[in-house]
Amino acid sequence: MNIMNIAGLSLVMALAGHSAAKAQSESDFVAAFSGDWQTLDPAYSDGGACRVSLASEKSGANYALTARNCGGDLAGIGGWGIVGKQLALLGADDQVLARMGGNQIRMSGDTETGKALVFERIRETAVAPARPVNDEECVFYGYTASCAKPEDFVQPESAAPGEAAKASVLVRLNARAEARPDAPIVSTIPANTCVVVDQCTTASDGLWCKAQVASYTGWIPQKAVRQGRWPVLTFAGQCQMVN
């Protein structure tokens, strides 16, 4: 598969030197991103994982979409299209519900209320929901030889009302511009750093949280693979140290 990345659709719309070129570039984009997608984030679930099918056929000014089990900010989703050089998920009267970027395998973005959202391609051969994200026999706790406990995977929460949620980064970890592995690296966070967590979202590879440290923010995955083989827990939902 040829991977077409979208970052505000700059790759697609850059081809649009005239109307015919624009039509061709939009057609290529629609062909690449149409199909079946799902998000595993329970914030968008209504009775099951939210699944959408992006059609390649026009529906008015945009494109048709069918949805199943979608709730929260995606309740009422019914279309998709290109809005402001981004892939947009649309509701009634073509109201933008979310704006996405990424590639044909995984898209990430935000809803119009500012909540993070990740959609992943549903493979045609899939016969069951995605496997649980924490079901490996052992996910090592940072650089240690000990396995992380179930409670170590809990989403970071504030310790007291009015306090920001925090997490302790256990390994040297890349912070990315979006909640997906191929997103640009914003910065690299040293091990044993306490970061402020703004929000989190769930994908097939586990929890991703938007972390703030020093003067930058970026998305960090809760799990990574060490030496190409060993799954490790990259951060835990508490801090024992202060930056």
Please give the residue that has the higher pLDDT: either 129 or 37. 37
**The two three-digit tokens of residue 121, written as one number:** 């391609």
Q: What is the rounded CA–CA span in Å between residue 20 and residue 4?
A: 20
What percent of the chain is predicted at pLDDT more than 90?
71
User: pLDDT confidence of 21, banded at 50, 70, 90?
Assistant: very low
Residue 26 has pLDDT above 50, yes or no: yes
Q: What is the rounded CA–CA span in Å between residue 235 and residue 221?
A: 8
Query: Topology of domain 140-236, per CATH?
Result: SH3 type barrels. (2.30.30)
Q: What is the rounded CA–CA span in Å between residue 155 and residue 110?
A: 19
Q: What pLDDT is attached to residue 231?
A: 96
The pTM for the full model equals 0.79
Q: What pLDDT is attached to residue 228?
A: 84
User: pLDDT confidence of 50, banded at 50, 70, 90?
Assistant: very high
Of 148, 45, 37, whose CA–CA distance to 100 is shortest? 37
Residue 116 has pLDDT above 70, yes or no: yes
Q: Residue ranges of the domains in the chain?
A: 10-121, 140-236
> In this predicted model, what pLDDT tens digit does every residue of 139-197 receive, in sequence order?
999 999 999 999 999 999 988 888 889 999 999 999 999 999 999 999 999 999 999 99
List 14's β-bridge partners, or say none.
none
Among 55-59, 126-130, 194-198, 210-214, name the one with the lowest average pLDDT. 126-130
Mean pLDDT (whole number) for 36-53: 97
Q: What pLDDT is attached to residue 19?
A: 42
Instruction: List C-alpha distances in Å: 179 to 29, 138, 185.
Output: 21, 24, 11
Q: Just give the CATH number of 10-121.
A: 2.40.128
Mean pLDDT (whole number) for 67-75: 98
Residue 10 has pLDDT above 50, yes or no: no
Q: What pLDDT is attached to residue 211?
A: 96
Please give the residue that has the higher pLDDT: either 218 or 214. 218
Residue 69 has pLDDT above 60, yes or no: yes
Mean pLDDT (whole number) for 67-89: 96
User: pLDDT confidence of 227, banded at 50, 70, 90?
Assistant: confident
- Tell me how far apart the terminal alpha carbons of the chain are, to the nearest angstrom: 44
Q: What pLDDT is attached to residue 213?
A: 82
Contact 120, 202 (CB under 8 A): no
